[in-house]
Amino acid sequence: MDQTERRAPERGVTVRPVTPRQRAARAARNGGEPTLEFAELVPYDAYVRASALHQLQQPLSDDPGEMSFLVVSQIMELYFGLTCHELRDAQRLLREDRIADALAPLRRATLHLEGLNASWKGLRWMTPADFNRFRNLLGEGSGFQSAMYRQLEFLLGLRDPALIRPFRRQTEVHAALTAALAAPSLWDDVVALLARQGFDLPADLLDRDVAVEHDPNPAVEEAWVRIYVDGGPDNQLRLLGEALSGVAEEFGDWRWNHVKAVQRTMGAKVGSGGSAGLAWLQRSMARVVFPELWSARTAM
């Protein structure tokens, strides 16, 4: 198969690229109308796999509102994965000291998180009575059990090894989470970058066990204070700080929107996954993403 061709997974259908000249020729043959005949699967479906996506919704009740809950949950899962993809790309570039290049995936991640936050609007209609019509059928299913959300938390530096325990019997998922926990977070890579850029950071900070959640360090805070002194357009580290701030703000908004959604739909009831529900979520919000980036603002 030509290297420019790609096959849609599990379909065996080739996605064949076309050149601008070929597109123009097709439009001329069609008289400006869209193509309506294809030898195999419609190319859009071969690429997007829309038919497969629309078969993934399997509601457990006849309640029409459950479809909203299910689809919004699936959309959020896709946004979790997409944001992780962008943050890993930013990590790769920062490890190569390509600060300017890392800004693009960080800014994309911020926009993806905005989309993630907008997903909550699809559930604003849900009252406790609405949720209760199908909640019991979910059993112990809970958003707390999202492996991709854990990946996102680990990338952002929020690390609790106990939270991978639910996945012990899903060997591939557990292995991926274990690897993520053992690898540096995005913030760890930012701190390492600051050291390479000449900021005096403690050796024990740079050599710490990255599986343990980062404790705020005064030297890192001071580095950001110094970075922000230069407000010029060519200060790449300040631009990096602002891009990271955008990611942290949108992620924080998602966590707060989650709290509000739980308040709206179930109040302070016990959570489906066995936690204290609202109280557990509120406590978890005390953990700050990129802490020194925020504490430094007090000293600026």
- Residue 99 contacts residue 240 (beta carbons within 8 Å): yes
Residue type, 17: P
Give the list of residues 6+ apart from residue 234 with CB closer than 8 angstroms, or none. Answer: none
Is 112 among the annotated ligand-binding positions?
A: no
The annotation status of 135 as a binding-site residue, yes or no, is yes
DSSP labels for 159-218? --GGGGGGGTTSHHHHHHHHHHHHSPPHHHHHHHHHHHTT----HHHHTS-TTSPPPP-H
Whether 14 contacts 5, CB under 8 Å = yes
Under 8 Å between Cβ of 261 and 120: yes
Measured in whole angstroms, the distance separating CA 202 from the mean position of its chain's CA atoms is 30
* 262: amino acid identity, one letter: V
- Residue 208 vs residues 96, 148, 199, 204, 217: alpha-carbon distances, Å: 21, 25, 17, 6, 12
Residue ranges for the known binding site for substrate are 135
Residue ranges for the known binding site for heme are 258
Residue ranges for the known binding site are 135, 258
